[in-house]
Chains A and B, each alone.
Chain A
């Protein structure tokens, strides 16, 4: 018998479940089809006790089901209860294998045999797809698992983990605490994982915590008292006996199934998502797509979509959940002028080229994360040398950029549709110019995180930003007063070039064919002296290299190498010579620079150890640091007053390990934050708890840190650690007279913490809230501890401490 419903909802994740809940609430005949025997399989498979985030925080939830930040078990429990209470018509173990028909008469095949018909179908199957199996004889043995709930459940076993992705690495390392673990990696290295996990597995393998068989793939599994796992390796066949196999091989994307339903994808790109109407309807009328498959991977967004899609199916218009928030942002004259938010957004996409490549939904999301400013004419927006890194777009009005601080009246003016602030964003350096409103303006200020997301995911945004950025960078770093025509000629030859870490930008002796303006990253300049490569200098972003060969008409005098991933604007020789001819100041500035370089080169070639020191500092983080703590061990009396001061000024836990860390000659780089320009720790912080201050300090917001440990894993310098709150210190007298607890400066790593309460990440914040600055440096009695900017490396080598 075929059952018939108004709406069939496929998949019981947050989106599908919320849609079914709304349908039940609206007394709409519906069915929710779930292929497993529980709700929301993706979340169900999270590790036990995992904290589930409810981002974006400001987005209101619109769903008959509840959802807020909490642990996996509580959230799933609430949903189970609420689907029952609402009377959701839920079928477990019902895998939809085929969808045919059209609006009003869809036919869904369940488990390959049963049929269900529906007028509308909502596809909410997510992106997880079906887990990939081993694909060898014996793959169905119950001791072969394709997921791992709780790694602590197993002990004293030999476990084979197959795979080389993030899940495999995380599982393998977690299991290795109590078990003997052997990883099976099909390739010769770990190339598909996040940097943090690559470091994790590399360290674990070095320490011998677990083993890994490279270039190996399974051929069969034989059951027995223990599993006999046969592998094909580079050296022939190998057999591993084990108690358990955990295979983490990723999933088969659901795309083939979605396409079989008639839904089209805009491109062959595996990350492409189906194109949808503003009502989430696909190109097949009556067939709707919501959730991760519709491009909305966050739980709250998916739940809101579930609610909305059922309203749309019932013919109800419903304004998006974020509408009131946007109205609040744009309230006043602006909203009145365009009548409604959709009208305003349409106008914005027309005037602002950066936003023109976004879908309406993407634009809404960007605006939610942005601030609207309406400065009056003359007001300052930001100041030269500020360390803020937000991105501004001009919706109305005009701003002026004071490129040359000595001539504040000479401003470059920008009008509606243009943007500014991208240099701080791209280079991670201080603001290169002061910007003020020259008329009353409407400006949209977007966060760095949101902008970087857009630049990475929307090619149009990247192109628009890059094109304008190249011109601005030339203006700001080389030729501020270039006329429009001359600039056009220079831009003609300008090209964006990117270099990997340690890649050579040009070699000593190469013909000098152009100048490189370093726009992000940094590089080292070195020469071969007496058969050895000696580092001469370090060049951070915002400077150019290669001008010497052009001016002197000689081959390259030195080798320039990218210290980290670096992007440079390349200007060809003719273009750059033209610049020098037009701008006598530039020529004399370059002549002066060359003079300084020659002296410096002569100096360093007499003292190769100074070059080695620069090289050492660059390697130890100088290449991306805004600020480094350096200890001169010829002065350091090992009193640890720096650590004590750090702990005493930061809630009892030192963020600095003086003794650990590398040393060259007597210069020691302790384990302490480098305050990177593009901080690795900030790359993957789920609650966005890591921030950069105006002055460039990277700090953790203790209130929002959830203690997930991502930053600790992602930091290449090991300067972040996880800590519990330390016990309260006793009063001075009760410590002095009765020996209660720890006194001033004692127990600076909080070894007596209670291990209760929240564990959170701690790191150096450069004493941003403490008057007088870094306590470690101020508390060093002998002047051994200093903080330096990478620009000072050369000066450091010329200075003798005694």
Chain B
């Protein structure tokens, strides 16, 4: 039955990660460096560093594994659950590896990039837990294509009726269709709003204009207004939908490129440690 990655297989990978962290912490406390304060250059430092590098490479391999469709017997959910918990565990392992020695150098750069990647990952977990349900509730069983089709239908109906209601109303109705923009740039999608939404504008204006209609047209005017109001609700729903999707996607645009930067700086860190120390 359905199981989220967080509870997957009775927290198997959380337990694994906690064991790893616990062992690292105990070792850190027990270990007494022969020279100087704890740092990456001691026997424990090298061990933790090696574990950290292997973890980072393995975590980054997830991007490749995800695209190897149909291969391998292990479910992708296993991979992701492990990716999440071991990735979180990495914070402790890597921090202990530093021996809390930070500075303005390439080593700390690698560490900061790693933390940045992990933090973006934590953001990812949060949106993955929170937004799928909101998205379903917001869609109410329709697909995005259904919603757009309904909007188009309302456009056509409103246009047909408003033809006889004078230029002012008709122009508002036309603009509410022609100038309507859904989606757009990243910021617009993430905000889920349009300050100059032509539909909102039309609802407000037509609401006023309807009052001035002769009695014989009043009924038609009210129909147009209700069509516009229904459209506004749909438009807002689509914007919310796009916003959720954008939030679920955006963090990957940070998580993945910064991972590459991390791998590069990690290489620099290792090379510099072994050749120039």
Contacts and interface: CB of A to CB of B under 8 A. Distances in A.
Given A660-B143, A778-B76, A786-B1, A645 B69 contact: yes
Nearest to B137: A666
A24 interface: no
Contact of B4 (A635, A644, A659, A796): A635
B69 A744 contact: yes
Contacts of A796: 1-2
Interface in A516-562: none
Interface residues of A, number: 42
Contact of B77 (A744, A767, A782): A782
A801 B128 CA distance: 14
B70 A648 contact: yes
Most chain A CB within a 10 A radius of its CB, from B5, B77, B143 = B77
B2 A786 contact: yes
Nearest to B83: A781
Contacts of A320: none
B76 A637 contact: no
A644 B67 CA distance: 9
Interface string A731-746: 0000000000000110
Contacts of A660: 143
Interface of chain A, helix or strand or loop or mixed? loop
A782 B77 CA distance: 6
Contacts of B143: 659-660
Nearest to B139: A663
Interface string B165-203: 000000000000000000000000000000000000000
A770 B141 contact: no
A119 interface: no
B215 interface: no
Nearest to A796: B1
Given A744-B69, A770-B70, A638 B3 contact: no
A272 interface: no
A784 B79 contact: no
Interface in B62-95: 66-67, 69-70, 72-73, 75-77, 79-80
Nearest to A659: B143
A219 interface: no
A222 to B, nearest CB: 35
B8 interface: yes
Contact of A636 (B1, B132, B141): B132
B148 to A, nearest CB: 13
Given A801-B2, A801-B3, A801-B4, A744 B133 contact: no
A783 B5 contact: yes
B2 A781 contact: no
Given A638-B245, A745-B69, A778-B70, A663 B79 contact: no
B76 A780 contact: yes
B223 interface: no
A649 B69 contact: yes
Nearest to A801: B2
A649 B73 CA distance: 14
Contact of B136 (A634, A779, A801): A634
A606 interface: no
B135 interface: yes
Contacts of B72: 772
A609 interface: no
A32 interface: no
A596 interface: no
B77 A781 contact: yes
Given A632-B2, A781-B66, A799-B2, A771 B77 contact: no
18 contacts: A630-B2, A633-B135, A634-B133, A634-B136, A635-B132, A636-B132, A637-B128, A637-B132, A638-B135, A645-B69, A659-B144, A662-B141, A772-B73, A778-B70, A779-B70, A781-B5, A796-B2, A799-B2
Given A634-B136, A767-B70, A778-B70, 17 more contacts: A632-B2, A633-B136, A634-B132, A641-B69, A645-B70, A649-B70, A663-B136, A668-B136, A778-B76, A781-B79, A782-B5, A782-B80, A786-B1, A786-B2, A792-B1, A799-B1, A802-B129
Interface of B: 1-8, 66-67, 69-70, 72-73, 75-77, 79-80, 128-129, 131-133, 135-136, 141, 143-145, 245, 248
Interface of A: 630, 632-638, 641, 644-645, 648-649, 659-660, 662-663, 666, 668, 744-745, 767, 770-772, 775, 777-784, 786, 788, 792, 795-796, 799, 801-802
